[in-house]
Homo-oligomer: A and B are copies of this chain.
Amino acid sequence: MATRDISPSSALGSADTPGFHVELAADRPMALDSGESIGPFTTAYTTCGTLNSDKSNAILVCHALTGDQYVLEQHPVTGKPGWWELMVGPGKSLDTDRYFIICVNVLGGCMGSTGPRDINPETGRPWGLDFPVITIGDMVRAQALLLDHLGIEKLFCVIGGSMGAMQVLEWAARYPDRVFSAIPIAGAARHSAQNIAFHEVGRQAIMADPDWRRGNYLQEQTNPKSGLSVARMAAHITYLSETALHRKFGRRLQGREEISFGFDADFQVESYLRHQGSTFVERFDANSYLYITRAMDYFDLAAEHDGVLAGAFENTSVRFCVISFNSDWLFPTDESREVVRALNAVAANVSFVEIDTDKGHDAFLLDEREFHRTVSGFLEGAADHRGLARK
C-alpha cells in the first residue's frame, strides 16, 4: 500500500510514532469549521488485515478522547496491548482475516497526527494555543482526505465508542455516500451540559497549573503534569459506573489494615485514581487534551439543521447499528435513543441495542459478550448486503 513517510514535524518526535504517517492537504490547505485552514498536516494511522482488490472491505475505527491509532498494536509509550484488541483481530468481531481495519490518530492529537505540540511551520515553534480549534467535523474531514490518499472510495463500516461515536455520526451525516454501515457506540449527537461541565473542570485544572505557561510549556521546557493528572482523575470517574467502582474497590484500604488519619491514599480507589492520573501524563499532551475536549463540547449534529437531528440523515442509505450501555451515565442510553429516533424519522435502516451491563461508559473497551456479539452479528449481515465474500 502506498504511503509516504515524511520527516518529523514535531519537536517531540511525534512523527516517529510506530505505524504510518502521511502528509495530507499538501496542495491545498484543508478548510476548518472555525474558518481557518490547515495544511499540509500529518495524519498518523495504523492498519490491520488486507485491503481487498475492489477496496470494499475497509473498516474505519474512530478512537475516543484519549485513545489513539494503536487499536491492535502494542502502545509505543505504555507497552500495553492495543486498546481494542478484544474487538479487533483474527476471528474477532472486527475480523482482520476478513476486513481491512484503519485507525487514525485524530487531528489535534499527540500520537503522530498534527496537533498543538507540533511545530508551526510559520513560526518554527510548537503551535501551542496558536493551533486552530478543531471540531469533530474537522477530524472526519482529515480522515476523508486519508481515504482519498488510500484510494478507498467507500468504507464498509465506520465504528467507534464515545468521541469515536461522534465521528461515526459525523461520517454518516457528512459523507453518506462513502459509508456503507455505521456503528456509533455509547455516543451522542451533541455533548450534554453535564459533559461540557466535566470537560471544563479538566481544562481549568490544566490551565491552573503554572507549568502550563499559557500553553507554551514546550518552549519553556515545563510540563503541566499535575493539572493534566487531575483532569484525567476527574474524567476517569465518569467512565465507570458507581456499581463498578463499588465492586472494584468499595471502601477497601490500600496496603494497610487501618485508616491512616492523614491524606495518603488510604483507600484503593484513591490509589487507583492517582495511578490513572500519573500514567496518563506520560502518554498524553496537555494542549491536545484541551483541543480534543473542546471538539467534543462543540459537537452538535442537529445545529446545522435548525436543531432537527433527523435533518442530518435525510435520505441516508447508511445501515446503522446504535449501541448503548444501560449503566453509562456519561453518555446515557437516552442520548443514543435520540439518534435512533432521528434515524427512524427518516426511515433509515437502523437497529438499536442497549447492552445490559454494570460497567459504565468504558464497557465498550471491555469483554462484554452481548456487545461483541451485537457488533459481529450486525457486521455479518452488512457484509452479506455489501457482497463481501465469507471467509
Chain A residues within 8 Å of B, Cβ to Cβ: 33-36, 129, 132-133, 190-194, 196-198, 200-201, 203-205, 207-210, 226-227, 229-230, 233-234, 237, 242, 245-246, 248-251, 259, 261-263, 265-267, 269-270, 273-274, 277, 290, 294, 297-298, 300, 329, 332
**Contact in complex: B34, A248 (CB < 8 Å):** no
Complex A-B, nearest 7 residue pairs according to Cβ-Cβ distance, in ascending order = A208-B226, A34-B261, A133-B261, A193-B245, A200-B270, A194-B242, A193-B249
**Contact in complex: B196, A237 (CB < 8 Å):** no
Please give the count of copies of this chain that the complex contains: 2
Main SS of the interface on chain A?
helix
Tell me the minimal C-beta distance from A274 to chain B in angstroms: 7
Q: Which residue of B lies closest to A267 (CB)?
A: B196
**Contact in complex: A269, B201 (CB < 8 Å):** no
**Contact in complex: B251, A204 (CB < 8 Å):** no
Q: Which residue of B lies closest to A250 (CB)?
A: B193
Partner of A248, one of B193, B198, B267: B193
Complex Cα gap A196–B265 (Å)? 10
**Contact in complex: B274, A204 (CB < 8 Å):** yes
Residues of B within 8 A of A263 (CB): 129, 203, 207, 290, 294
**Contact in complex: B191, A251 (CB < 8 Å):** yes
**Contact in complex: A197, B273 (CB < 8 Å):** yes
A sample of 10 more A-B contacts (CB under 8 A), given A197-B233, A200-B270, A230-B230, is A192-B242, A193-B251, A196-B251, A197-B237, A198-B234, A201-B237, A205-B230, A207-B263, A261-B298, A266-B297
Give 21 A-B contacts (CB < 8 Å), ordered by A residue. A34-B261, A36-B261, A129-B263, A133-B261, A190-B251, A193-B245, A193-B249, A194-B237, A194-B246, A197-B237, A198-B234, A200-B265, A200-B274, A201-B234, A201-B237, A204-B277, A205-B205, A208-B209, A234-B234, A242-B329, A266-B297
